[in-house]
Structure 1
Amino acid sequence: MLVVDDSAVIRQLITVNLELEGLEVEQCDDGVEALDRIGTWRPDVVTLDVMMPRLGGFEVVERLRSDPVTAAIPVVMVTGRAAAADLARGDELGVEAYLVKPFEPTELVATVLRLLPDGAS
């Protein structure tokens, strides 16, 4: 499980809630760092913010989807961007779920658990 957000508070909130479910969580604070990390380790699910320095969430998803090795990694967008165009862009890119901040932690956990491959943690 990889949590990517430029806000340390949001990263920690997501991480704590997922770890309480027994998941192993790693964190990155921007898209460039996330792609580097995914290059050496394949997370079961990625949560991504849209607005981040250096490389935003939509661009990260585009790169993941364009690589056959990472194309199937489920992505949950967790963002304050809730305009119809943002939701449409996420859908167009094949994002599995789109949660708007402020999100309900129980909804985030349920979404991630639903996207995990059978037997993954």
Structure 2
Amino acid sequence: MGEDLGRVLVVDDDEVIRQLIAVNLTLEGFEVATATDGQDCLDRVLDVRPDVITLDVMMPRLDGWETASRLRTEEGTTHIKVVLITARAQEDDKRRGFGIGVDAYLTKPFDPAELIQVVRELAATARA
């Protein structure tokens, strides 16, 4: 595991999905932190200093849309790569996500290999 691939903050209110993503990324060699919802993400992001955030859309307290929007506008977080992960696959949702400025969009159920590939590519550009 000599290679440092970067740091990822996994944000999902569903513990099973949060752990699934975290375990897959940890096994791949990423340093992983987790948050239970958008507010938890914003509370922790400056301490964690992730290269990439995987962000569920449907969450209590603060949803993924608002969280992504705040990450894009608050000083200190505008550079972080954001992957939205959601069951909402409509084109309008994708347009909304890209309009906010997210870097990638994955639909649940997602292929863990695809998630790893997307996170790997984004982390590489974040650290370039």
TM-score (norm: length of structure 1): 0.94
SS in 2 for 1:116: helix
Residue deviations 1:22-74 (CA, integer Å, cap 9, x gap): 11101111000000001323111000000000000010111111123110100
Q: Within 2, Cα distance between the matches of 1:22 and 1:15? A: 11
The partner residue of 2:88 within 81, 84, 89 is 81
Q: Structure 1 residues 100 and 45, CA, compared in 2 at 3 Å: closer, same or farther?
A: same
Q: Which amino acid aligns with 1:114?
A: E
1:20 aligns with 2:20: no
Deviations 1:72-102 (A, max 9, x none): 1000011101111110100101111000000
Aligned residue for 1:20, secondary structure, equals helix
Alpha-carbon RMSD across the aligned residues, in angstroms, is: 1.4
Q: Distance in 2 between matches of 1:53 and 1:91?
A: 22
Distance 2:25 2:93 in 1: 25
**1:70 aligned partner:** 77
Question: Where does residue 103 of structure 1 map in the other structure?
Answer: 110
- Structure 2: stretches of 5+ with no match in the other structure: 1-7
1:35 aligns with: 42
TM-score (norm 2): 0.89
Residue identity matched to 2:14: S
Once superposed, which parts of structure 1, at least 4 consecutive aligned residues long, lie more than 4 Å away? none
User: Which amino acid counterpart does residue 86 of structure 2 have in structure 1?
Assistant: T
In the alignment, structure 1 segments of 5+ residues that lack a partner are: none
